[in-house]
Amino acid sequence: MPEDPELSFVLCIVAGALAVAAGAFGALSFAPSACALLGVLATLRICWLDDNIANDLLDREQLPPSYINAQRRQRWLEALLLGRAVPQETPTPAQVATRMRAEVQVWSAIVVAGAAAMLARTAPFGMLVSCGLALWAFLWAFRFADRLSATLWLVETGRVLPREDLLRRVSWAYSGRNDRNR
């Protein structure tokens, strides 16, 4: 449990808002081609994390050895960069999946906010329609930020997301097959 729960809760909300702000600011700062490339890379990361959650971590009792090795390297790098020892506890697969779902939500908020900012910046459909679509996309990005805040709070307190929330994907991530009936 965090030392100051109220401060931790507020920081989780601020982290969600910062993800939206980073996406919008990045889209307004970079060239459209660079934004598109970064958006594609972020989308690939989202797909990779979704695949790892669904295929590597769910229905497991112990972490796979590759995840344990990655955590060792991460602890070593944190100790090297931050100069402090990191606790050696091994999280459960559900805790790692919850952390990965939080990362998916961060990337999703960044990508959607960036797309909204680019839509408002370039106004390809005329000013009225483009601004309306940008407003809708920003509301969608803040919805991701809200879910991110709740997930970060669970990570902070050591709890995990329920299975159906770990498997939840945004509607555009489903393929042409009817995956929703599974």
CB of 114 within 8 A of CB of 23? Answer: yes
Residue 12 located in a structural domain: no
Q: Any idea which residue has 């081609």 for tokens?
A: 33
Residue 67 located in a structural domain: no
The residue count of the chain comes to 182
pLDDT at residue 140 tops 50: yes
Structural domains in the chain (count): 1
Residue 73 located in a structural domain: no
Residue 159 located in a structural domain: yes
Q: Which tokens go with 61? A: 């009792």
Look at residue 48 in the predicted model and tell me its pLDDT: 94
Residue 4 located in a structural domain: no
**pLDDT band with cut points at 50, 70 and 90 for residue 182:** very low
Residue 78 located in a structural domain: no
Residue 13 located in a structural domain: no
- pLDDT tens digits, one per residue of 92-120: 999 999 999 999 999 999 999 999 999 99
Span 59-77, mean pLDDT? 88
Q: Quick one: which of 160, 156, 159 has its CA closest to 2?
A: 156
Say what the pTM is. 0.86
Percent of the chain with pLDDT over 90: 60
Domain enclosing residue 107, as ranges: 20-61+92-167
Residue 137 located in a structural domain: yes
- pLDDT tens digits, one per residue of 19-34: 999 999 999 999 999 9
